[in-house]
């Protein structure tokens, strides 16, 4: 089992729709969760992070975390063609003392296409 798994995609949605991107993780020690967007030929750019159970909203983006189910998702409302990219889920774990292990473990990414 991979440490971080994302829905394989590609995912295609019409402009204006809600895009739903999902991620599951295997390590219960994971504490913080990040969503990055990567355009073709570019480096990953941070969209948002979440570390508490529940929802976190930032503009058109909502991250949802359920630690009991080891599941994190990203919703993109009012999807635009400019949202077309690969979305990467990444997790970070901390030790008992609360110190981050530093490295992020990434999923394989989900390719999202928003068509006009």
Site residues, other proteins (CB under 8 A): 31-32, 34, 36, 42-46, 49, 51, 88, 90, 92-94, 97-109
Residue 26 or 100: the one with the smaller Cβ distance to other proteins is 100
Residue 61 or 106: the one with the smaller Cβ distance to other proteins is 106
Question: In angstroms, what is the minimal distance from the CB of 79 to other proteins?
Answer: 24
Distance between CA 9 and CA 68 in Å, rounded?
25
Residue 31 or 70: the one with the smaller Cβ distance to other proteins is 31
Give me 85's structure tokens.
Answer: 């990219």
Question: In angstroms, what is the minimal distance from the CB of 104 to other proteins?
Answer: 6
HEC states along 49-82? EECCCEEEEECCEEEEEECCCCEEEEEECCCCHH
Question: In angstroms, what is the minimal distance from the CB of 68 to other proteins?
Answer: 18
Residue 17 or 56: the one with the smaller Cβ distance to other proteins is 56
């Amino acid at each position: 089992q991979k440490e971080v798994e994302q829905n394989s995609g590609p995912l295609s949605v019409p402009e204006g729709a809600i895009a739903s991107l999902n991620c599951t993780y295997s390590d219960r020690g994971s504490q913080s969760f990040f969503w990055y967007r990567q355009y073709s030929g570019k480096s990953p750019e941070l969209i948002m992070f979440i570390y508490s159970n529940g929802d976190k909203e930032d503009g058109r983006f909502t991250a949802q975390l359920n630690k009991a189910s080891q599941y994190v998702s990203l919703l993109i409302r009012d999807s635009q063609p400019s949202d077309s990219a690969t979305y990467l889920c990444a997790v970070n774990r901390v030790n008992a003392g609360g110190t981050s292990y530093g490295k992020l473990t990434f999923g394989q990414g989900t390719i999202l296409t928003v068509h006009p």
